Structure 1
Amino acid sequence: MTKKVDLLTSGVDAAIRSTTLLGPNTYAVTVGPALDMTIVASDDYLAKWGTPNHPCDILDHDTICYAFGSGEDLAPWGYNGPEGTYTIQPKPRMVANDMRSLLSYAKQGLGLGYLYREIALPHLSAGGLTEVLIGHVTQLPCYSLNYRSKRNMTRRLRAFVDMAKAPREAA
């Protein structure tokens, strides 16, 4: 199972994380935008099993979940609700450790897939794949570059942090 690296004791200078996890004497710089998520399924799957109308409905569906590390730690599916954001962890039919495989399994009709919307968008436009629970799925926070104390920072790490802080130019 993948574990959070302790920047103070591991000898690692920096880590890029999907959430900002600050410990004592550590800092973070946001790198990148918030990430839009989506839930998708093939049109064939939805015709056979129906379209979920509420996040709780996913518990009655086959799902394809993203797994970290050895596959025991699954990414939770995040939703917006009246009380704020919450997660529901469906029981997976399949597990994938990369988003493109997860998308492929969803396109093959093996279940609902929860993935980055940017990856799904071209396939949604092409047809055969449908977004479900639009408006319910929450964004993931921005990635951040977490690093140790600013004191005694190596020049190489300082350059990397400065690069991460620099405004992005349009490509």
Structure 2
Amino acid sequence: MKPVTLESIRIFLAVAEARSFTAAAIRLGVTPAAASKAVKLLEAQHGVIVFVRNTRRVALTEAGSVLYASLLAASSQIDDAFAALTRFRDRPAGTLRLTVPRALGALVLRELAPRFQRAYPDVSLDMSLDDGEVDLLEQGFDAGIRLGQSVAQGMVAVRLTGDLAWSVVASPAYFARAGRPRVPEDLVRHETVRYRFHRSKALAPWAFLRDGERFQVETGHKLVVNDTGLIADFSRSGLGLAYLPDIEIAHDLADGRLERVLDAFIPKTSGLFLYFAARTQSQPKLRAFIDMATADGLLSRSLAGSIGA
């Protein structure tokens, strides 16, 4: 048996209320013949007559009256359900799911999330901290925040910050024990704490710049993790050199817990971007987040404050 369609239910209810196929058809914008055919199909599918028809009037049978009473309540719920959709169309509402890098994402959201919640109380923020690559559509996220080079192809990317400065750092205790590298090539004789990408399993490269040419150095390492916050912890503990963004270790640099080396050789990298699939950006909840995140350099000022703290 074919399932009853919402359209046939709509026609049945309209005919029952108007007691006329013609009046119901006019109300629904269909022909009287189409309305009659839909009702006849419904009756045939279920083997029950729901209307008594003659040349002057249309009346519900007993079975039709029972069906009408049941469907009327259900129809009201369906109408309410579709009416509720307008709140997602007309104003920011619902749940906005975001994936952000652990340390850098926390810096961004510490400033942005409270402000967004105050401005849009009908939107719930569901934030996942993950440094790895994430397929937004596959994993059900509305948007993500990543460094520019980590944004997947085919996504719309909106810049949130300027380029980021990075440093090779270690604790004073490590430098006292192992000395300071003077050129990037010296790193092969040092212990380093390296970052491994979650999905590709590759080690994040340590990139340097000399005479306008970029190059990489492979380092000795006994510690490899996929969390930059833990890398900073290990480096503070004297376990080796780390390659980290300045905004993540600003307080350590200011307090002397970590010290820089090789400054002259380290290039900046692309800043943070908010990215999302093109077809999702029309959602009011995401549009509101995009507008706030990019408004008046809010995040760049916030992150600059973190560096200067």
Q: TM-score range by the shorter chain?
A: 0.7 to 0.9
Match among 162, 186, 207 for residue 57 of structure 1: 186
What whole-Å deviation, never above 9, does each CA across 1:61-98 have from its counterpart, x for those lacking one? Answer: 11011233279333221212224333334242212333
- CA distance in 2: counterparts of 1:73 and 1:53, whole angstroms: 26
Per the alignment, residue 5 of structure 1 pairs with 135
SS in 1 for 2:196: strand
Shift of 1:12: 4.4
Task: Output the TM-score relative to the length of structure 2.
Answer: 0.47
Per the alignment, residue 23 of structure 1 pairs with 153
SS in 2 for 1:131: strand
- CA distance in 2: counterparts of 1:99 and 1:148, whole angstroms: 27
User: In structure 2, do the counterparts of structure 1 residues 41 and 12 end up closer, same or farther at CA, with 3 Å as the change threshold?
Assistant: closer
Within a 5 Å distance, the mapping from 1:39-118 to structure 2 comes to 39-69=168-198, 72-118=201-247
SS in 2 for 1:168: helix
User: In structure 2, do the counterparts of structure 1 residues 122 and 18 end up closer, same or farther at CA, with 3 Å as the change threshold?
Assistant: same
Contact 2:132–2:199 (CA under 8 A) maintained in structure 1: yes
Amino acid in the other structure paired with 1:16: I
Q: Looking at secondary structure, tell me which structure has more strand per residue.
A: 1
Highest relative contact order (Cα 8 Å, sep 6+), 1 or 2? 1
Superposed structure 1 runs of 4+ greater than 4 Å apart: 9-12
Shift of 1:100: 3.2
Amino acid in the other structure paired with 2:293: A
Structure 1 stretches lacking a partner, 5+ long: none
Structure 2 stretches lacking a partner, 5+ long: 1-130, 303-309
Amino acid in the other structure paired with 2:193: I
Shift of 1:162: 2.2
Q: Does 1:158 align with 2:287?
A: yes
Identical residues among aligned pairs (%): 29
Task: Output the TM-score relative to the length of structure 1.
Answer: 0.78
Contact 1:71–1:95 (CA under 8 A) maintained in structure 2: no
Q: Which has the larger radius of gyration?
A: 2
Shift of 1:136: 1.1
| Cα-Cα RMSD | 3.0
Shift of 1:37: 0.9
SS in 2 for 1:140: coil
Shift of 1:118: 2.9
